[in-house]
Protein backbone atom coordinates (compact mmCIF):
# COMPACT_ATOMS: atom_id res chain seq x y z
CA UNK A 1 0.00 0.00 0.00
CA UNK A 2 1.51 3.31 -1.08
CA UNK A 3 0.21 6.44 0.66
CA UNK A 4 0.92 10.07 -0.19
CA UNK A 5 0.78 12.79 2.44
CA UNK A 6 0.16 16.32 1.17
CA UNK A 7 1.74 18.87 3.52
CA UNK A 8 4.43 18.54 6.19
CA UNK A 9 2.62 20.46 8.91
CA UNK A 10 2.21 18.77 12.28
CA UNK A 11 -0.83 16.87 10.92
CA UNK A 12 1.02 15.56 7.86
CA UNK A 13 4.15 14.53 9.77
CA UNK A 14 2.17 12.83 12.52
CA UNK A 15 0.08 10.97 9.96
CA UNK A 16 3.22 9.91 8.08
CA UNK A 17 4.93 8.61 11.23
CA UNK A 18 1.80 6.60 12.14
CA UNK A 19 1.46 5.09 8.67
CA UNK A 20 5.16 4.21 8.48
CA UNK A 21 4.97 2.57 11.88
CA UNK A 22 2.13 0.39 10.56
CA UNK A 23 4.23 -0.71 7.59
CA UNK A 24 2.91 1.44 4.72
CA UNK A 25 5.13 3.01 2.13
CA UNK A 26 4.74 6.78 2.57
CA UNK A 27 5.74 9.85 0.51
CA UNK A 28 5.34 13.32 2.01
CA UNK A 29 5.12 16.45 -0.19
CA UNK A 30 5.58 19.98 1.12
CA UNK A 31 5.37 23.20 -0.91
CA UNK A 32 7.27 25.42 1.56
CA UNK A 33 11.04 25.31 2.12
CA UNK A 34 10.55 24.26 5.77
CA UNK A 35 8.63 21.57 7.67
CA UNK A 36 6.12 22.00 10.48
CA UNK A 37 3.73 24.58 9.00
CA UNK A 38 2.22 26.55 11.88
CA UNK A 39 3.90 24.34 14.49
CA UNK A 40 7.61 25.02 14.34
CA UNK A 41 10.06 27.76 15.36
CA UNK A 42 12.76 30.00 13.94
CA UNK A 43 15.66 31.46 15.84
CA UNK A 44 15.36 35.26 15.84
CA UNK A 45 17.29 37.77 17.98
CA UNK A 46 18.07 35.00 20.48
CA UNK A 47 14.46 33.73 20.78
CA UNK A 48 12.60 30.70 19.38
CA UNK A 49 9.79 32.45 17.54
CA UNK A 50 7.04 30.03 16.59
CA UNK A 51 5.39 30.09 13.16
CA UNK A 52 1.97 29.73 14.81
CA UNK A 53 1.35 27.91 18.07
CA UNK A 54 2.15 29.36 21.47
CA UNK A 55 4.63 26.53 22.16
CA UNK A 56 1.86 24.71 24.02
CA UNK A 57 0.28 21.27 23.73
CA UNK A 58 -3.30 21.62 25.04
CA UNK A 59 -3.32 18.58 27.39
CA UNK A 60 0.43 18.33 27.87
CA UNK A 61 1.94 14.91 28.51
CA UNK A 62 -1.50 13.33 29.14
CA UNK A 63 -3.22 14.27 25.90
CA UNK A 64 -3.82 12.41 22.62
CA UNK A 65 -0.82 14.02 20.89
CA UNK A 66 1.63 13.02 23.63
CA UNK A 67 0.18 9.50 23.61
CA UNK A 68 0.59 9.26 19.83
CA UNK A 69 4.15 10.63 19.95
CA UNK A 70 5.08 7.93 22.45
CA UNK A 71 3.42 5.25 20.31
CA UNK A 72 5.37 6.15 17.16
CA UNK A 73 8.61 6.50 19.12
CA UNK A 74 8.99 10.29 18.78
CA UNK A 75 11.03 11.46 21.73
CA UNK A 76 9.63 14.72 23.09
CA UNK A 77 9.88 15.93 26.66
CA UNK A 78 6.79 17.85 27.73
CA UNK A 79 6.71 20.04 30.84
CA UNK A 80 3.15 20.05 32.18
CA UNK A 81 1.97 23.47 33.27
CA UNK A 82 1.78 24.15 36.96
CA UNK A 83 -0.68 25.65 37.69
CA UNK A 84 -2.78 25.29 34.52
CA UNK A 85 -3.72 28.91 34.73
CA UNK A 86 -3.94 32.10 36.72
CA UNK A 87 -5.94 35.24 36.09
CA UNK A 88 -4.80 38.84 36.15
CA UNK A 89 -7.83 40.64 37.54
CA UNK A 90 -7.91 44.20 38.90
CA UNK A 91 -4.11 44.25 39.05
CA UNK A 92 -3.81 41.02 41.02
CA UNK A 93 -2.72 37.58 39.82
CA UNK A 94 -5.16 34.95 41.08
CA UNK A 95 -4.61 31.19 41.01
CA UNK A 96 -7.54 29.62 39.17
CA UNK A 97 -9.30 26.52 40.43
CA UNK A 98 -12.95 25.48 40.56
CA UNK A 99 -13.31 27.30 43.89
CA UNK A 100 -12.11 30.61 42.42
CA UNK A 101 -15.53 30.96 40.79
CA UNK A 102 -18.42 31.96 43.07
CA UNK A 103 -20.82 29.09 43.87
CA UNK A 104 -23.74 30.97 42.29
CA UNK A 105 -21.89 31.21 38.95
CA UNK A 106 -20.85 27.56 39.13
CA UNK A 107 -24.48 26.55 39.63
CA UNK A 108 -25.54 28.77 36.73
CA UNK A 109 -22.90 27.11 34.55
CA UNK A 110 -24.11 23.61 35.53
CA UNK A 111 -27.72 24.57 34.81
CA UNK A 112 -26.76 26.12 31.47
CA UNK A 113 -24.92 22.90 30.54
CA UNK A 114 -27.90 20.72 31.46
CA UNK A 115 -30.33 22.87 29.50
CA UNK A 116 -28.26 23.56 26.40
CA UNK A 117 -25.92 20.69 25.71
CA UNK A 118 -27.72 19.80 22.48
CA UNK A 119 -29.00 23.28 21.61
CA UNK A 120 -27.53 26.16 19.69
CA UNK A 121 -27.63 28.68 22.55
CA UNK A 122 -24.66 31.03 22.45
CA UNK A 123 -22.26 31.24 25.37
CA UNK A 124 -22.98 34.98 25.52
CA UNK A 125 -26.30 33.95 27.16
CA UNK A 126 -24.32 32.26 29.93
CA UNK A 127 -21.84 35.17 30.11
CA UNK A 128 -24.70 37.63 30.86
CA UNK A 129 -25.74 35.65 33.93
CA UNK A 130 -22.32 35.24 35.52
CA UNK A 131 -20.55 37.43 38.09
CA UNK A 132 -17.96 39.84 36.65
CA UNK A 133 -14.88 37.66 37.32
CA UNK A 134 -16.40 34.48 35.86
CA UNK A 135 -17.76 36.31 32.80
CA UNK A 136 -14.41 37.94 32.08
CA UNK A 137 -12.61 34.65 32.61
CA UNK A 138 -14.91 32.88 30.15
CA UNK A 139 -14.17 35.56 27.53
CA UNK A 140 -10.40 35.44 28.10
CA UNK A 141 -10.32 31.64 28.05
CA UNK A 142 -12.21 31.39 24.75
CA UNK A 143 -10.14 34.17 23.20
CA UNK A 144 -6.86 32.55 24.20
CA UNK A 145 -7.70 28.96 23.33
CA UNK A 146 -10.06 29.35 20.36
CA UNK A 147 -9.60 32.96 19.16
CA UNK A 148 -13.36 33.41 19.47
CA UNK A 149 -15.80 35.30 21.69
CA UNK A 150 -18.78 33.91 23.66
CA UNK A 151 -21.23 35.24 21.04
CA UNK A 152 -19.53 33.11 18.34
CA UNK A 153 -19.85 29.81 20.19
CA UNK A 154 -22.55 27.60 21.61
CA UNK A 155 -22.06 25.00 24.33
CA UNK A 156 -22.19 22.11 21.85
CA UNK A 157 -19.20 23.63 20.01
CA UNK A 158 -17.02 23.64 23.08
CA UNK A 159 -18.39 20.85 25.28
CA UNK A 160 -15.98 18.14 24.00
CA UNK A 161 -13.07 20.50 24.66
CA UNK A 162 -14.36 21.31 28.14
CA UNK A 163 -14.79 17.60 28.88
CA UNK A 164 -11.29 16.74 27.59
CA UNK A 165 -9.73 19.54 29.65
CA UNK A 166 -11.60 18.33 32.73
CA UNK A 167 -10.40 14.74 32.28
CA UNK A 168 -6.92 15.20 30.81
CA UNK A 169 -5.88 18.48 32.41
CA UNK A 170 -4.27 21.60 31.09
CA UNK A 171 -1.40 22.40 28.77
CA UNK A 172 2.26 21.54 28.60
CA UNK A 173 5.30 22.97 26.83
CA UNK A 174 7.60 20.73 24.79
CA UNK A 175 11.28 21.24 25.58
CA UNK A 176 12.64 22.91 22.42
CA UNK A 177 9.22 24.36 21.58
CA UNK A 178 7.02 23.32 18.66
CA UNK A 179 10.06 22.49 16.51
CA UNK A 180 11.13 19.76 18.93
CA UNK A 181 7.90 17.88 18.12
CA UNK A 182 8.44 18.32 14.38
CA UNK A 183 12.11 17.28 14.59
CA UNK A 184 11.23 14.18 16.62
CA UNK A 185 8.67 13.15 13.98
CA UNK A 186 11.15 13.77 11.15
CA UNK A 187 13.62 11.54 12.99
CA UNK A 188 11.02 8.75 13.21
CA UNK A 189 10.32 9.15 9.48
CA UNK A 190 14.02 9.05 8.65
CA UNK A 191 14.35 5.77 10.55
CA UNK A 192 12.00 4.36 7.86
CA UNK A 193 13.99 6.09 5.13
CA UNK A 194 11.21 8.60 4.49
CA UNK A 195 12.16 12.23 3.81
CA UNK A 196 9.92 15.18 2.95
CA UNK A 197 9.92 16.06 -0.75
CA UNK A 198 9.82 19.78 -1.68
CA UNK A 199 6.95 19.67 -4.14
CA UNK A 200 3.74 21.61 -4.41
CA UNK A 201 0.82 19.31 -5.14
CA UNK A 202 -1.24 20.90 -7.93
CA UNK A 203 -4.07 18.38 -8.30
CA UNK A 204 -5.41 15.14 -6.84
CA UNK A 205 -7.23 12.93 -9.36
CA UNK A 206 -9.27 9.77 -9.03
CA UNK A 207 -8.09 7.10 -11.46
CA UNK A 208 -9.18 3.54 -12.19
CA UNK A 209 -6.23 2.16 -10.18
CA UNK A 210 -6.51 4.56 -7.20
CA UNK A 211 -5.38 8.19 -6.98
CA UNK A 212 -2.78 10.32 -8.70
CA UNK A 213 -0.96 13.41 -7.47
CA UNK A 214 0.01 16.03 -10.01
CA UNK A 215 3.06 18.27 -9.71
CA UNK A 216 4.41 20.98 -12.05
CA UNK A 217 5.76 18.55 -14.65
CA UNK A 218 5.06 15.07 -13.33
CA UNK A 219 2.45 12.90 -11.65
CA UNK A 220 2.61 9.88 -9.33
CA UNK A 221 0.22 7.05 -8.49
CA UNK A 222 -0.90 6.19 -4.96
CA UNK A 223 -3.37 3.83 -3.31
CA UNK A 224 -4.46 6.48 -0.81
CA UNK A 225 -3.83 10.19 -0.21
CA UNK A 226 -3.85 11.88 3.19
CA UNK A 227 -4.08 15.64 2.89
CA UNK A 228 -2.88 18.05 5.58
CA UNK A 229 -3.52 21.04 3.33
CA UNK A 230 -6.86 21.87 4.99
CA UNK A 231 -10.38 21.23 3.67
CA UNK A 232 -10.53 24.23 1.31
CA UNK A 233 -7.23 23.46 -0.44
CA UNK A 234 -7.84 19.68 -0.44
CA UNK A 235 -11.27 20.02 -2.07
CA UNK A 236 -9.87 22.50 -4.58
CA UNK A 237 -7.01 20.13 -5.47
CA UNK A 238 -9.50 17.30 -5.95
CA UNK A 239 -11.79 19.42 -8.14
CA UNK A 240 -14.63 19.27 -5.60
CA UNK A 241 -16.96 22.04 -4.46
CA UNK A 242 -15.01 23.86 -1.77
CA UNK A 243 -16.71 23.74 1.68
CA UNK A 244 -17.54 27.05 3.35
CA UNK A 245 -15.58 27.27 6.57
CA UNK A 246 -15.33 30.14 8.97
CA UNK A 247 -11.72 30.41 10.14
CA UNK A 248 -10.74 31.84 13.51
CA UNK A 249 -8.27 34.66 13.32
CA UNK A 250 -5.82 36.04 15.83
CA UNK A 251 -2.71 38.05 16.60
CA UNK A 252 0.31 36.81 18.50
CA UNK A 253 3.05 38.90 20.15
CA UNK A 254 6.51 37.55 20.99
CA UNK A 255 8.09 39.64 23.71
CA UNK A 256 11.54 39.71 25.32
CA UNK A 257 11.49 40.67 29.00
CA UNK A 258 14.36 41.71 31.24
CA UNK A 259 12.58 40.67 34.45
CA UNK A 260 10.00 37.86 34.62
CA UNK A 261 6.31 38.80 34.58
CA UNK A 262 5.04 35.44 35.84
CA UNK A 263 6.70 32.74 37.92
CA UNK A 264 4.98 29.62 36.53
CA UNK A 265 4.61 27.56 33.37
CA UNK A 266 0.86 28.00 32.87
CA UNK A 267 -1.17 30.67 31.13
CA UNK A 268 -1.96 33.94 32.86
CA UNK A 269 -5.36 34.98 31.50
CA UNK A 270 -5.73 38.74 31.33
CA UNK A 271 -9.23 39.80 32.30
CA UNK A 272 -9.20 43.60 32.22
CA UNK A 273 -7.90 44.12 28.71
CA UNK A 274 -9.34 45.26 25.39
CA UNK A 275 -7.99 42.40 23.28
CA UNK A 276 -5.12 40.40 24.78
CA UNK A 277 -6.61 37.31 26.45
CA UNK A 278 -3.55 35.82 28.06
CA UNK A 279 0.19 35.45 28.20
CA UNK A 280 2.58 32.55 28.79
CA UNK A 281 6.22 32.85 29.72
CA UNK A 282 7.64 29.86 27.90
CA UNK A 283 11.21 30.25 29.21
CA UNK A 284 9.85 29.21 32.63
CA UNK A 285 9.45 25.69 31.16
CA UNK A 286 12.46 25.74 28.84
CA UNK A 287 15.07 28.48 29.45
CA UNK A 288 16.62 27.72 26.04
CA UNK A 289 13.61 29.16 24.22
CA UNK A 290 14.99 32.65 24.78
CA UNK A 291 18.06 34.58 25.86
CA UNK A 292 16.03 36.33 28.51
CA UNK A 293 12.43 35.81 29.63
CA UNK A 294 10.25 35.04 26.63
CA UNK A 295 6.62 36.03 26.86
CA UNK A 296 3.94 35.25 24.30
CA UNK A 297 0.61 37.08 24.21
CA UNK A 298 -2.43 36.22 22.14
CA UNK A 299 -5.67 37.93 21.09
CA UNK A 300 -8.54 37.06 18.78
CA UNK A 301 -9.29 39.44 15.91
CA UNK A 302 -12.58 41.12 16.76
CA UNK A 303 -12.68 43.34 13.63
CA UNK A 304 -11.04 42.65 10.27
CA UNK A 305 -8.85 45.77 10.59
CA UNK A 306 -5.45 44.24 11.45
CA UNK A 307 -3.77 47.62 12.17
CA UNK A 308 -6.53 48.61 14.58
CA UNK A 309 -6.47 45.22 16.30
CA UNK A 310 -2.70 45.44 16.79
CA UNK A 311 -2.98 48.99 18.15
CA UNK A 312 -5.54 47.76 20.71
CA UNK A 313 -3.32 44.78 21.61
CA UNK A 314 -0.26 47.00 22.07
CA UNK A 315 -2.23 49.29 24.42
CA UNK A 316 -3.09 46.21 26.49
CA UNK A 317 0.54 45.10 26.57
CA UNK A 318 1.59 48.55 27.78
CA UNK A 319 -0.77 48.17 30.71
CA UNK A 320 0.05 44.53 31.49
CA UNK A 321 3.79 45.27 31.33
CA UNK A 322 3.73 48.64 33.12
CA UNK A 323 7.06 49.06 34.95
CA UNK A 324 8.74 46.25 32.99
CA UNK A 325 11.54 46.65 30.48
CA UNK A 326 10.41 44.80 27.36
CA UNK A 327 10.85 44.55 23.61
CA UNK A 328 8.14 43.33 21.24
CA UNK A 329 10.22 41.09 18.97
CA UNK A 330 7.58 40.01 16.47
CA UNK A 331 3.88 40.62 15.87
CA UNK A 332 2.18 37.98 13.71
CA UNK A 333 -1.38 38.14 12.42
CA UNK A 334 -3.16 34.97 11.37
CA UNK A 335 -6.01 35.07 8.85
CA UNK A 336 -6.82 34.52 5.15
CA UNK A 337 -5.73 30.94 4.60
CA UNK A 338 -3.06 31.00 7.33
CA UNK A 339 -5.41 31.35 10.33
CA UNK A 340 -5.33 30.20 13.95
CA UNK A 341 -7.92 27.55 13.13
CA UNK A 342 -9.19 26.69 9.66
CA UNK A 343 -12.62 25.92 11.08
CA UNK A 344 -14.28 27.48 14.12
CA UNK A 345 -14.33 25.23 17.18
CA UNK A 346 -16.84 22.40 16.79
CA UNK A 347 -17.15 22.92 13.00
CA UNK A 348 -14.29 20.78 11.67
CA UNK A 349 -14.91 18.67 8.57
CA UNK A 350 -14.98 14.89 8.46
CA UNK A 351 -11.66 13.10 7.84
CA UNK A 352 -13.26 11.37 4.87
CA UNK A 353 -13.96 13.10 1.56
CA UNK A 354 -16.32 12.28 -1.33
CA UNK A 355 -13.28 10.85 -3.18
CA UNK A 356 -12.55 7.23 -2.27
CA UNK A 357 -9.07 6.90 -0.79
CA UNK A 358 -8.66 10.64 -0.16
CA UNK A 359 -8.59 11.57 3.54
CA UNK A 360 -7.98 14.79 5.44
CA UNK A 361 -5.96 15.31 8.62
CA UNK A 362 -4.86 18.34 10.58
CA UNK A 363 -6.51 21.63 11.30
CA UNK A 364 -9.99 21.75 9.75
CA UNK A 365 -10.37 17.97 10.13
CA UNK A 366 -9.70 17.59 13.84
CA UNK A 367 -11.34 15.06 16.17
CA UNK A 368 -13.29 16.10 19.28
CA UNK A 369 -10.57 18.03 21.02
CA UNK A 370 -8.63 21.21 20.69
CA UNK A 371 -5.70 22.10 18.40
CA UNK A 372 -2.87 19.57 18.11
CA UNK A 373 -4.62 17.14 20.46
CA UNK A 374 -7.68 17.26 18.17
CA UNK A 375 -5.35 16.70 15.20
CA UNK A 376 -4.03 13.49 16.82
CA UNK A 377 -7.59 12.16 17.28
CA UNK A 378 -8.38 12.84 13.59
CA UNK A 379 -5.24 10.98 12.50
CA UNK A 380 -6.11 7.95 14.61
CA UNK A 381 -9.40 7.77 12.68
CA UNK A 382 -7.77 8.09 9.25
CA UNK A 383 -5.25 5.37 10.00
CA UNK A 384 -8.11 3.05 11.08
CA UNK A 385 -10.02 3.82 7.85
CA UNK A 386 -6.96 3.03 5.72
CA UNK A 387 -6.46 -0.23 7.61
CA UNK A 388 -10.11 -1.19 6.99
CA UNK A 389 -9.58 -0.51 3.27
CA UNK A 390 -6.50 -2.72 3.23
CA UNK A 391 -8.39 -5.56 4.97
CA UNK A 392 -11.14 -5.39 2.33
CA UNK A 393 -8.64 -5.84 -0.54
Ligand X SMILES: Cc1cc2nc3c(=O)[nH]c(=O)nc-3n(C[C@H](O)[C@H](O)[C@H](O)COP(=O)(O)OP(=O)(O)OC[C@H]3O[C@@H](n4cnc5c(N)ncnc54)[C@H](O)[C@@H]3O)c2cc1C
The CA angle 21-25-29, to the nearest 5 degrees, is 100
The full DSSP string for 369-380 is SSHHHHHHHHHH
Report residue 268: phi and psi, to 5°: -105, 110
21 counts as binding ligand X under rule CB under 6 A: no
Q: What is the dihedral of CA 39, 379, 7, 19, to 10 degrees?
A: 120
Q: Please name which of 172, 144, 163, 146 lies closest in space to residue 67, comparing C-alpha atoms.
A: 172
For the purposes of burial, counting CB atoms within 10 Å of the CB of 251, is it exposed (0-12), middle (13-18) or buried (19 or more)?
buried
Contact pick of 170, 172, 177, 250 for ligand X (by CB under 6 A): 250
In the bound complex, what is the minimum distance in angstroms from residue 187's beta carbon to ligand X?
18
- Smallest distance, ligand X to C-beta of residue 40, A: 8
Rounded to the nearest 10°, the torsion over CA 320, 323, 326, 332 is: 20
Which residue from 2, 22, 25, 31 is in contact with ligand X, where contact means CB under 6 A? Answer: 31
Q: Under rule CB under 6 A, which residues in 53-72 are in contact with ligand X?
A: 53-54, 56-58
Stretch 256-315 residues interacting with ligand X (CB under 6 A) = 298
Candidates 77-85, 92-100, 228-236, 284-292: pick the segment binding ligand X (CB under 6 A). Answer: 228-236
CB of 86 closer than 8 Å to CB of 262: yes
* Of the residues 5, 12, 137, 253, which one makes contact with ligand X according to CB under 6 A: 12
In the complex, what is the shortest distance from the CB of residue 201 to ligand X, in angstroms, rounded to a whole number? 4
Q: Which of 41, 52, 85, 116 binds ligand X (CB under 6 A)?
A: 52
Count of residues for the chain? 393
Asked if 229 interacts with ligand X (CB under 6 A), we say: yes
Minimum CB separation of residue 284 from ligand X in Å reads: 15
Task: Label the pairing between strands 85-89 and 78-80.
Answer: unpaired
Q: Given candidates 4, 5, 7, 134, which one binds ligand X under the rule CB under 6 A?
A: 7
**Which whole-number Å values give the CA distances from 225 to 87, 137, 206, 211, 331, in the listed order?**
44, 42, 10, 7, 35
Size of the site for ligand X (CB under 6 A): 35
Q: How far is the CB of 151 from ligand X (least distance, A)?
A: 21
188 scored as a contact of ligand X (CB under 6 A):
no
| Residue from 200, 258, 356, 384 binding ligand X (CB under 6 A) | 200
Q: Is 232 in the site for ligand X (CB under 6 A)?
A: no
In whole angstroms, give the CA distance from residue 188 to residue 241: 36
Residue 203 bridge partners (DSSP): 214
Span of 23-31, 73-81, 126-134, 182-190 interacting with ligand X by CB under 6 A: 23-31
- For residues 128 to 167, the per-residue mask of contacts with ligand X, x marking binding by CB under 6 A and - elsewhere, is ----------------------------------------
Question: Residue 79: which of 175, 177, 176 has the closest Cα?
Answer: 175
Which residues contribute to the site for ligand X (CB under 6 A)? 6-12, 29-32, 37-39, 52-54, 56-58, 200-201, 228-229, 233, 250, 252, 298, 334, 340, 362-363, 371-372, 375
Amino acid sequence: MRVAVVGAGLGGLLAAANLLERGYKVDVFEKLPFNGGRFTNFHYKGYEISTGALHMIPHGSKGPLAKMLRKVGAKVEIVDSKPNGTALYRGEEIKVSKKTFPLKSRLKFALYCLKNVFREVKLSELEKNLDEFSAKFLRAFLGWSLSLTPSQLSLSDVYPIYEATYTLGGPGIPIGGCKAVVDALLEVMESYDCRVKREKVRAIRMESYGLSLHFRNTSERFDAVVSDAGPVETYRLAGLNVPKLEESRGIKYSIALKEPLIDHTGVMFTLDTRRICGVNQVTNADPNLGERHFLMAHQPMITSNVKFEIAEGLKDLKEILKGYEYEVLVIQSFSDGWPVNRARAGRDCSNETPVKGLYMVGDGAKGEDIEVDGIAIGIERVVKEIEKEVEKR
